[in-house]
Chains A and B, each alone.
Chain A
């Protein structure tokens, strides 16, 4: 008899989701879906608010990546009001954005994902978590927790609060960086870089071979979206969007033009929208054999679309990664590997930004005057390309908002990955706790 297997809730992810797998009469997977079960309605309830308040409101979309929402919104409101922040304001924003990637990546890799690899996907669920990891590897766990806290502390020094920051303002930043503060941050940045390199070495030894396995569950062939600078180098803060087809050909566009390339639609089972690449002209389909219009964002996507990385150690890692897995690399669990390469990049970039004396300039904010306008702000969040799009009226209050967050771009691919994992792992209707966890691992790689 036909049967439905439900994983409720998906755990060790950063939000609310469940997985529903439908089996046919013979116990073969017929369909599988990721259901996002919460909607807060930010796009609607920001309407009418004074636009300069938006960065402090939309940060609450995500407590894990509040900086990304905060700064994407600040950039968008710059556009609405037609102000360009001074250079130091832009540098401080980029510093915070890139720095905020570091505790996020530490959290995802070590606290959420690593238990599956270091303790094993089949380990008892009561042990297969960060506490189990800490019991087995107390020194590692202590260092991980300390370094994550260090990153958060640095953010708090720069932006008042690490979680739900306030210093990104329309026109720039709320105050300049002092020379003494900079000196301390540089010392701490060096510690983060040491740790980033250590993390990648640790993972290479203990985890990444499992992510490279050729026949892993969750396989899907898609295009990719990420952000690059004029030279094609990886960017996390602003830049040009680059959309890559599954065959590796790319097209670039400005964030303002996202509506010409990407299209949002709703599926009856999920409160997250689905986005597809409309400009490919092939429509949208979640057919597991021949999906259409499906692309991915997040760490693997960013490494696939960029030509190079502008910092030396991360660039060396990218070359090694590319030599081994090609471009674009498609294996879903490679997100973890790419995540650690980005951890190294972020650490190097933080040090580079702090070393730039121009970041100490006293002029950090261009005063703004409310006006009618449209602004699109975009950054690369840990979970992928983040787009904030607002329009204001003559009083400078929001009249329309559209937000596409990282995980939303990945909804289509996550559905395909979960279906692939379920099809590979469930035979004749038999599935146990370990199989269900392996299916979740295909989703967890996207860090949703």
Chain B
């Protein structure tokens, strides 16, 4: 009998699922190795005995489960718990699941404030809808996943490797290096400016030359989250954003387990003599990892 496979998405955008499908032709033999029992994007298994108000949904038992997205409402909690109960091995897929991701930027304000503001100009806040939690959570704050695979989205090949490893009875090793450790740009060991440049003009350097010819974007003065960020986005090649001459924004989450990219980055900049006041909107440095109470409501918004 084939191993069974279950896939769910919570407070997410479907980008992780797109990355899985981006395997292209390799997707078909991968899916053929398993029997899909639940995957709302691709197949029609419904939540049994669950209309959505209270109660618990049921999901079919699966040897392997993937879950993308953070958790922001009661229904997502119920689905996540049902998925954990039903899966032998559960992988938290993508940065929303592992660190909250971009939607956890909302954690600067209580969810009720967000809802009220979004509907302010067009009528009452819809009340016959799933009630929201007070903030956006990462998956591991509510259930224990067996593996966390960050990335916004994770590389198709990384998802494939993780699935195959689990099918073969293993858990894959994590990458462990930072974005900078995989970046070929040229470093001179000091920043060219004392202020953090906003990305209002393109990076210096000849754009069609090898990346190794371009000076490090951080040294050019652009805020680049490479030093604090888990690497691997480019596989064995250069980081993906840097390939198109764009600075890293930290989409794989902190490279240091439990790290706080805001503090680490500001300390790093101070060490280079960069004026911290020149960083507009420092809170944005946590833009991919606002779960785990890293982003909290400011006193003003409470």
**Given contacts A44-B114, A266-B126, A368 and B27 within 8 Å (CB-CB):** no
A107 within 8 A of B: yes
**Given contacts A64-B18, A130-B42, A163-B18, A268 and B246 within 8 Å (CB-CB):** no
Nearest CB to that of B279 among chain A residues? Answer: A50
B51 within 8 A of A: yes
**Given contacts A38-B11, A61-B13, A125-B43, A174 and B105 within 8 Å (CB-CB):** no
Nearest CB to that of A267 among chain B residues? Answer: B126
Quick check: B42 and A166 within 8 Å, CB to CB? no
Quick check: A152 and B22 within 8 Å, CB to CB? yes
B208 within 8 A of A: yes
CA–CA, A177 and B246, complex, Å: 15
Binds B, one of A154-162, A303-311, A379-387: A154-162
**Given contacts A8-B46, A142-B28, A176-B208, A49 and B124 within 8 Å (CB-CB):** no
Quick check: A6 and B280 within 8 Å, CB to CB? no
Quick check: B129 and A35 within 8 Å, CB to CB? yes
Of the candidates A9, A40, A131, A273, the one having the most CB atoms from chain B within 10 angstroms of its own CB is A40
Enumerate chain B residues within 8 angstroms of A148, measured Cβ to Cβ: 21-22, 24
CA–CA, A111 and B41, complex, Å: 9
CA–CA, A273 and B121, complex, Å: 11
Quick check: A164 and B15 within 8 Å, CB to CB? yes
Enumerate chain A residues within 8 angstroms of B127, measured Cβ to Cβ: 268
Enumerate chain B residues within 8 angstroms of A60, measured Cβ to Cβ: 13, 15, 101-103, 152
Query: Which of B203, B251, B280 is the one whose CB lies under 8 Å from A164?
Result: B251
Quick check: B106 and A45 within 8 Å, CB to CB? yes
- Secondary structure at chain A's binding surface: helix, strand, loop or mixed? loop
Enumerate chain B residues within 8 angstroms of A160, measured Cβ to Cβ: 240-241, 243-244, 246
Quick check: A149 and B24 within 8 Å, CB to CB? yes
Query: Which of A40, A164, A266 is the one whose CB lies under 8 Å from B106?
Result: A40
A283 within 8 A of B: no
Query: Which of A63, A107, A134, A266 is the one whose CB lies under 8 Å from B12?
Result: A63
Binds B, one of A11-19, A194-202, A350-358, A421-429: A11-19
B20 to chain A, nearest CB (A): 10
Query: Which of B24, B52, B122, B280 is the one whose CB lies under 8 Å from A37?
Result: B52
Enumerate chain B residues within 8 angstroms of A138, measured Cβ to Cβ: 28
Interface residues in B, total, Cβ within 8 A: 82
CA–CA, A44 and B115, complex, Å: 9
Q: Which of A50-96 contact B (CB under 8 A)?
A: 50, 52-53, 56-57, 60-64, 66
B170 within 8 A of A: no
Enumerate chain A residues within 8 angstroms of B124, measured Cβ to Cβ: 266, 268
Quick check: A50 and B103 within 8 Å, CB to CB? no
Instruction: Write the B226-268 contact mask toward A (1 if CB under 8 angstroms, else 0).
Output: 0000000000000011011110010100000000000000000
Quick check: B32 and A131 within 8 Å, CB to CB? yes
Query: Which of A39, A43, A56, A367 is the one whose CB lies under 8 Å from B201?
Result: A367
Q: Which of B117-173 contact A (CB under 8 A)?
A: 117-119, 121-130, 132, 152-153
CA–CA, A131 and B203, complex, Å: 45
Quick check: B280 and A397 within 8 Å, CB to CB? yes
Query: Which of B13, B25, B244 is the one whose CB lies under 8 Å from A145?
Result: B25
B284 within 8 A of A: yes
CA–CA, A446 and B42, complex, Å: 16
CA–CA, A178 and B194, complex, Å: 33
**Given contacts A8-B52, A166-B241, A44 and B119 within 8 Å (CB-CB):** no
B49 to chain A, nearest CB (A): 10
Enumerate chain A residues within 8 angstroms of B207, measured Cβ to Cβ: 175-176, 362
Of the candidates A12, A52, A163, A367, the one having the most CB atoms from chain B within 10 angstroms of its own CB is A163
A372 to chain B, nearest CB (A): 15
Of the candidates B14, B28, B244, the one having the most CB atoms from chain A within 10 angstroms of its own CB is B244
A183 to chain B, nearest CB (A): 14
Q: Which of A20-59 contact B (CB under 8 A)?
A: 35, 37-41, 43-45, 48-50, 52-53, 56-57
**Given contacts A41-B115, A63-B13, A9 and B47 within 8 Å (CB-CB):** yes
B133 to chain A, nearest CB (A): 12
A128 within 8 A of B: yes
Nearest CB to that of B13 among chain A residues? Answer: A63
Q: Which of B175-226 contact A (CB under 8 A)?
A: 198-203, 207-208
A251 within 8 A of B: no
CA–CA, A397 and B279, complex, Å: 13
Enumerate chain B residues within 8 angstroms of A216, measured Cβ to Cβ: none
CA–CA, A49 and B200, complex, Å: 14
Nearest CB to that of B23 among chain A residues? Answer: A149
Quick check: A264 and B280 within 8 Å, CB to CB? no
B137 to chain A, nearest CB (A): 14
CA–CA, A267 and B13, complex, Å: 23
CA–CA, A171 and B127, complex, Å: 41
A286 within 8 A of B: no
CA–CA, A156 and B115, complex, Å: 35
Quick check: A50 and B280 within 8 Å, CB to CB? yes
Quick check: B46 and A266 within 8 Å, CB to CB? no
Enumerate chain A residues within 8 angstroms of B103, measured Cβ to Cβ: 40-41, 60
**Given contacts A163-B18, A169-B199, A268-B124, A134 and B28 within 8 Å (CB-CB):** yes
Of the candidates A63, A148, A367, the one having the most CB atoms from chain B within 10 angstroms of its own CB is A63
**Given contacts A15-B14, A169-B199, A395-B280, A163 and B43 within 8 Å (CB-CB):** no
Query: Which of A11, A35, A45 is the one whose CB lies under 8 Å from B44?
Result: A11
Enumerate chain A residues within 8 angstroms of B44, measured Cβ to Cβ: 11-12, 125, 128-129, 437
Quick check: A41 and B114 within 8 Å, CB to CB? yes
A270 within 8 A of B: yes
CA–CA, A323 and B251, complex, Å: 49
Quick check: B130 and A50 within 8 Å, CB to CB? no
**Given contacts A63-B14, A264-B122, A266-B124, A365 and B201 within 8 Å (CB-CB):** yes
A234 to chain B, nearest CB (A): 25
A361 to chain B, nearest CB (A): 12
* Additional A-B contacts beyond A11-B45, A15-B14, A66-B13 (11; CB < 8 A): A38-B11, A44-B114, A57-B105, A131-B28, A131-B36, A160-B243, A160-B244, A162-B22, A264-B122, A271-B126, A437-B44
* 11 A-B pairs whose Cβ atoms sit less than 8 Å apart in the complex: A8-B47, A50-B198, A52-B199, A112-B41, A131-B42, A134-B32, A148-B22, A263-B122, A266-B125, A368-B201, A369-B200
Closest 3 CB pairs of A and B: A63-B15, A149-B24, A160-B244
